[in-house]
Structure 1
Amino acid sequence: MADPRAITAAPDLESADLALVLLTVEEAARRLRIGRTTCFKLVLAGEIESVTVGRLRRVPTEALPAYVTQLRRRPAEAA
């Protein structure tokens, strides 16, 4: 049987994410509470800033608040 203390001793991935400078697109999607596919579309469209590191696509952490600010400044679309 597994030691119940092992569950609480495991590092919390959400709090570990807070120290990162560059996020994967999946991590950015999780922080924005949107789907992975939607986040990839926003990154590829240039709506969310991203950088390449070698062959990897990464999202700077400060790009997420910038994206949300941009959304808040857009006029509400007519329904």
Structure 2
Amino acid sequence: MAKQMSNNMIDNIMKEHRREVEDRNILAPSDNNGKNSLDVEVYFPDNEHSIEEGYCSWSGLVNLLRINSDKPEVVRFIADMME
């Protein structure tokens, strides 16, 4: 039950972030190569949260959030990097 609740929280965070980003028109529209507007990468600098430095895809972000759903400080760091 707690795992399902964590996944629901993550899904809600991701939906809210998508809405905020779309509202600010930050994401580029689809291009001719079939990429959709959520094909973005987020850069993670060297950090104390055991998240590897470098770029992370949208699906990678979802995985990071799921893996770290029980660590609020890591989820907050990920959210900060998504801004």
**TM-score range normalised by the length of the shorter chain:** under 0.3
Provide the TM-score with structure 1 as the length reference: 0.24
- Structure with higher Rg: it is 1
